[in-house]
A = this chain, B = another copy of it.
Amino acid sequence: MVVPFQDADPTGVAWHGNYFRYYDAARTALLAKLNFGYRRMASVGQLWPIVDTRVRYRRSIVYGESVTVAAQLVEWDFRLLIYYEIRDGAGRLVNEAYTSQAPVSAKSESLIVGTPKSLRDRIEGLIADASKRGE
């Protein structure tokens, strides 16, 4: 992606709060692969609010700059823990982050203990497939 002009602040670099837009696009794409986007979550009566997030800004990025944003699922037993990286055109790590999401029942608004089996099966199926393909 290219850093939008309006995401840069008066010093010319992307304002720190705007990185969450970039990470959300990467998370949305990742969850779509797991067939577990926002609409799917809602259809099974679940919300997965973000409960914790951390970002480390190693280098700033300027408007008009091309960067790559990667998201990887690293934990799914009791929460979804996703790890993110932004790299610049030269491949240097410029930013890293994680988000943690917890399953909540949309009806009762209480925490669901343990990732629902349907999602866990889907994740583990995808991992098994990737493993067979030698990824």
**Which A residues form the contact surface with B (CB < 8 A)?**
2, 4-6, 8-13, 15-18, 20-21, 24-25, 28, 37-39, 47, 49-58, 60, 63-64, 99
Contacts and interface: CB of A to CB of B under 8 A. Distances in A.
A21 to B, nearest CB: 6
Q: How many of these chains are in the complex?
A: 4
A12 B13 contact: no
Contacts of A17: 6, 17-18, 20-21, 24
Given A6-B21, A64-B39, A55 B52 contact: yes
B53 A38 contact: no
SS class of chain A's interface: helix, strand, loop or mixed?
mixed
A51 B2 CA distance: 21
Contacts of A49: 11, 13, 16, 57, 60
Contacts of A20: 6, 16-17, 20
A116 to B, nearest CB: 18
A97 to B, nearest CB: 9
